[in-house]
Structure 1
Amino acid sequence: MKQYSASSVRQLSAVVDSMAGTVSAGRLRQLQMVVGMFDRAVGRDEMPARSSRTAQQLFTWAALRPFWELAVDGQLRHWEKDVGKPLPEWSQRIVRDCLKILAREVLPAGKTVKLPSIANPEPKPTVGGRSLDALYRGMVDLAGRGPLERDGTALSYEDRARTLAIVAVMLDAAPRSGELAAQTLADLAPGETAVAVRRQQQKAAPNRVEEIAALAEVGPETVRAVLGGWVERMSEESRQRVLAAVAELAPLPEVEWYPLREGSQVTVRRWLEVRRGLVESLPLEGAKTALWVSLVPSKAGPPGVPLSAQGLRQGYARGIVALNWVMAGSHGWEPLPTTMEQIRRSVTAVPLENPPYEG
């Protein structure tokens, strides 16, 4: 067990330890992460000297304000190599949630605490239709070319085949990385004419803002604020109305099928050929059903094991870097973002009214 030098951090750590079994394992790890951040903050010039005395002193605004600034700037990261990398917005929300939980445990009953606010970030720009068309043309053109290189980093035939197939499915069906990771061979129609996406119900609400706003009789911005956790921006009545509307939403179809364009069908078939060679020697039948699999040995196992959502995002980013390089200078081409989410939000995918076949 880690020993902390400051009395305040030791007390806070004991509080977190006492919460084991009352919160989920994931939340407990997040709370322990915040304890570690406090440990790296206390004693710095920015923090008040009294913040080292008791856990309650950590939750005064005099301590929380510099702590938050240091955290957002990436100065309290665990790994030295990451120090200085700004904390992404989703990580800021986790830290703020943990601060709220810890304050309730540490401070006397009825005592309130001022928590840091998180600005409502502007969505990252999407990709225009012109660039999407260029991406689609480039995807098809690249299907038969040799290995790509950028700054001495080679993109193998196998890696290229997988990247192009991922891009094809994203352009035609707009799945999230987790939805891609869940796909199996059964999610391809005969002839690769269509692809199925199992939508993640728990993430559906942010994509149905207008529908929720109409049900709750509030503005879309109020809905976004509630879904984003910015509860200080609206009344409790508005928040409850939005939450009630979310609960009333009819669930999305469990599976939606999307047609694949001819070029997409070509790239998916090329990937299936590569994939077949990767999974043939695997001993586990379950691994052989995944649509997206690894190309090289990793912590997850040998080549051919199912890719996680993180692995898909990393492979996609690597492939898009190469695609931007090879397309540089082409008429009408604009460099594309290396995050899947920006591409996904640029696509308006329309599902088939009826499944391509009854399976």
Structure 2
Amino acid sequence: MSTSTDEDRYPAVEELPALVQKVLDDPDTTDSVADHVRWVYRTIQKALEREDYKERYGTSVRELLGPGATALCELTDNGELRLRGYKNNPKCVTTSQRRRSSILRRLAREAGVPSGAISYPKPPRKPTMPAWARSQLHNGLKAQVEKQPSDPGLARMLVVVGLVLDAVPRTGELCTCGIADLAPDLSWVKIIRNPQAVTSNLHLTEVWPVSPITQAALENWLPIRAQLIAGLQGSKNALLVSHGHGAYRRGTPLGRKGLIESYVAQVGELKGAVTGGGGKGWELPEGLEQLRLGVQEQHRNYAAEQAAGVKIPHWGPAVVLNPLLPEEGEKKKTMAAMAKVAQAVDAFHTARASAGDETDPTVLRARRTLREATRALWARAGHTTTLKLLHQAKLTNDDLPAAGYKAPLLDALERA
């Protein structure tokens, strides 16, 4: 508890909480930045517990956020103010160092005083995968998926790798991906983009084609996921759930930290198993973000080749749903998709009645048209609307596979 004498001698200690609160109340301060501000505030408080630091820099905000910020950076770099008690010193510039300096500069700017925070250089980006490694990665993924692994961690990791190769999602975007974001036939996936430094809650939704390898990985994972969430109370919507490893409760949605930890562990085990079995090591990056950056680099090169006039197949989202587009235009597209589904169901019934054989080319074409129409409607309206319309159009539950609906997905949707 501070005294009136402390207030006179160390006015910065008394003024700091109000300054921090001012930054927290700023509408431009995101939840993530707010967490970092509180973290830096606790670090400053820990430094002020040292009498020598308090005597020297607590005399004014100018001193505290000027030379005091320099001293704070040096103390944390030496591991003297680690809030979690870590003793090892960083061997290179870390994200935490850059983040701390950024917050210190923000506080100084808000106080209208010069900042003494050390400016750390941006660390060099880890090298991404060479082209030959990406080719091997696809082959390795295919070989592992074909084994239909029953180990939950491995089965889930193969889904994660497949989705990153297909749609280049960030870790957070993968964690928010749910069962409802899978197309009826698992051939498309919805990715709600959440790019860094975007404060709006309105995010672009991209619907990406899913490769046959990833579809197979999903078909293998969904029954395993069903076992993991059995008996779980609450939401059962998440696609990626925990298999009960470590501190993560079985069946609960996997968060960013859990996903990253699981990926690193599975990569290590898989590389060891492949190499130990006499096979060549699988060229899978050790970090999930490194994998994403490698695929993203490939995607950019692909787009550049297309722009240059090279005739190569399209690689990109099949549908883009932008919440900022006029609502009326999106409604028209959805209504058109609903009409096509109704027509496709009628055509399917007609073809089946006239042909009398499920293998008849007319029936097969009608099934393909129905499957494509159903998938297009799901992309815009979701499963609830799509299934309701299919039933209204007199398509029975037994005939839902004709519309592309996979049994494991229907089971997952029912549980959710």
- Give the TM-score taking structure 1 as reference length: 0.67
Does structure 1 residue 311 correspond to structure 2 residue 258?
Answer: yes
**Structure 2: which 5+ runs fail to align?**
300-314, 320-371, 379-416
Q: Is the 8 A contact 1:134 1:333 kept in 2?
A: no
**Matches for 1:212-251 after TM superposition, within 5 Å:** none
Letter aligned with residue 279 of structure 1: I
C-alpha distance after superposition, 1:221-275 (max 9, x if no partner): xxxxxxxxxxxxxxxxxxxxxxxxxx9xxx9852221231x33222221111101
CA distance in 1, matches of 2:104, 2:20: 15
CA distance in 2, matches of 1:46, 1:323: 52
CA distance in 2, matches of 1:59, 1:170: 42
Question: 1:97: Cα distance to partner?
Answer: 2.9
Does structure 1 residue 173 correspond to structure 2 residue 167?
Answer: yes
Q: Is the 8 A contact 1:292 1:306 kept in 2?
A: yes
Question: 1:320: Cα distance to partner?
Answer: 1.4
Q: Is the 8 A contact 1:192 1:265 kept in 2?
A: yes
| Aligned equivalent of 1:19 | 22
Letter aligned with residue 144 of structure 2: L
| Aligned equivalent of 2:232 | 282
**Structure 1: which 5+ runs fail to align?**
148-155, 206-246
Which one of the candidate residues 329, 339, 343 is aligned to 2:287? Answer: 339
- Give the TM-score taking structure 2 as reference length: 0.59
Question: 1:112: Cα distance to partner?
Answer: 3.1
CA distance in 1, matches of 2:15, 2:135: 54
Which one of the candidate residues 306, 316, 325 is aligned to 1:351? Answer: 316
Which has the larger Rg?
Answer: 2
Bigger fraction of residues in helix: 2
Q: Is the 8 A contact 1:8 1:58 kept in 2?
A: no
Question: 1:21: Cα distance to partner?
Answer: 6.5
Which one of the candidate residues 184, 187, 198 is aligned to 1:193? Answer: 187
| Aligned equivalent of 1:58 | 64
Ranked by relative contact order (alpha carbons within 8 Å, sequence separation 6 or more), the top structure is 1
C-alpha distance after superposition, 1:295-314 (max 9, x if no partner): 118877x4222222222222
Question: 1:98: Cα distance to partner?
Answer: 2.2
Does structure 1 residue 323 correspond to structure 2 residue 273?
Answer: no
CA distance in 1, matches of 2:197, 2:36: 21
| Aligned equivalent of 1:240 | none
Does structure 1 residue 101 correspond to structure 2 residue 106?
Answer: yes
Q: Secondary structure at the match of 2:272?
A: helix
Q: Secondary structure at the match of 2:232?
A: coil
Q: Is the 8 A contact 2:178 2:239 kept in 1?
A: yes
CA distance in 2, matches of 1:76, 1:337: 33
Distance change in 2, residues 1:339/1:49 (3 Å): same
Number of corresponding residues = 298
CA distance in 1, matches of 2:86, 2:241: 29
Q: Which stretch of structure 1 is more off in the superposition, 349-358 or 89-98?
A: 349-358
Distance change in 2, residues 1:76/1:2 (3 Å): farther
Q: Secondary structure at the match of 2:205?
A: coil
CA distance in 1, matches of 2:204, 2:156: 27
CA distance in 1, matches of 2:285, 2:54: 41
Q: Is the 8 A contact 1:172 1:258 kept in 2?
A: yes
